Amino acid sequence: MRYAMAVDTRKCVGCSDCVVACQTENNVPSGFCRDWVVEVTDGTYPQLEMEIRSERCNHCINSPCVRCCPTGASHFDAGGIVLVDHNKCIGCGACIASCPYDARYPHPDGYVDKCTFCSHRLKKGLDPACADVCPTKCIYFGDLDDPNSPVSVILRQRKSKTLIPEAGTRPQLYFLI
């Protein structure tokens, strides 16, 4: 099993519903977020091009955060999901410094927190909250080992990219272009 997510940058309108859904679902303290929206405007006026991306933890296969964590609090769960064990985390910040995507934040309770792909929802057979709530249905989620999962299907049909693959992290958050 290998969980992955694909975000359609051509369908995303940048409404931030995914951000709010995540904050509500996961009780994210105010001032922080586990997912966020990036808008990139490229070119010179009037020839402009815009890309909108809903970003979150990339659940990398070669995760610098798991490697740098001194206690094993950051670990791989079933399906390659990168999770933080709150009772093992000492709040040293090594994982935050090690993440090239800056996907982690220090929770006010002391431990480090991040996107979990809503692993508590996956156990019930549900999709992550951000994917479920998206009004344009631009977030595809599923198991890459299953050729019929929504993410496998869409990644076969469309061209995609990952963010800074040159950082060597092998990210599992794909952007359809």
Partner 1 sequence: MKEELIVSGRMNSMIDPHLNIWHWEIPLYLFLGGMAAGILAIAALYFIRGREKDYRTAVRLTPFLAPILLVFGLLALFIDLRHKLFFWQLYVNIKLQSPMSWGAWVLMVITPVSFIWCALHIKDIFPKWDWKYNWLINVESFFNRYKKVLAWVMLIYAIILGIYTGILLSAFNARPLWNTSILGPLFLTSGLSAGAATTLLLSKNKDERKQFARIDLVLIGIELFFIIHMFMGFLASTQVQIEAAHLFLGGPYTVSFWIFVVILGMLIPALLEFMELGKYHIPSILPATMVIFGSLMLRFIIVYAGQFSRWLY
Q: Pattern 105-144, binding to partner 1, x per CB under 8 A?
A: xx--xxxx--------------------------------
Rounded to a whole number of angstroms, the minimum distance from the CB of residue 108 to partner 1 is: 9
The rounded distance, in Å, linking the Cα atoms of 20 and 87 is 26
Contact between 70 and partner 1 (CB under 8 A)?
yes
The window from 2-10, 65-73, 113-121, 133-141 that contacts partner 1 (CB under 8 A) reads 65-73
The rounded distance, in Å, linking the Cα atoms of 11 and 43 is 20
Compare residues 55 and 143 and give the one whose CB is closer to partner 1.
55
Contact between 29 and partner 1 (CB under 8 A)?
no
Judged by CB under 8 A, how many residues of this single chain contact partner 1?
49
